[in-house]
Amino acid sequence: MEKGGKMKFEIDANALIDKIVSGVTEQINMLVKHGSKTKGNELMNVDELAEYLKVKKSSIYDRAHNRSIPFLKNGKFLRFKKKHIDIWLLNPYHPDLNHYNLNHNGRR
């Protein structure tokens, strides 16, 4: 502690950059790994998407109702293209998702 009771923080820029690069690399590897198997055409139902995102099914239904997640409707059933979910996870404003008319608080 410095005089006056204030703490001094130092940031290791190289460690921070390494952590950011590691996180981005991990996400890209996930997309490449999953994308190479399915070519993005895999459709998931609510149960499968909830498991994939590790969230409750009610969260998926809420997001679909609010149009904050890309989804397709097959009759009364919701379906989710894995490719578009992966894009949405990285950037919900990505132009490839424009045809879903996602609600981004008025942002278009």
Query: Is 17 within a domain?
Result: yes
In a domain, 89, yes or no: yes
For 3-15, the pLDDT digits (tens) are 666 777 788 888 8
The residues, any chain, with a CB within 8 Å of residue 54's CB and separated by 6 or more, are: none
Global pTM reads 0.60
Residue 43 in 3-state DSSP? strand
35-55 pLDDT, tens digit each: 555 555 799 999 999 999 999
Number of domains in the chain: 1
Structural domain containing residue 62:
13-100
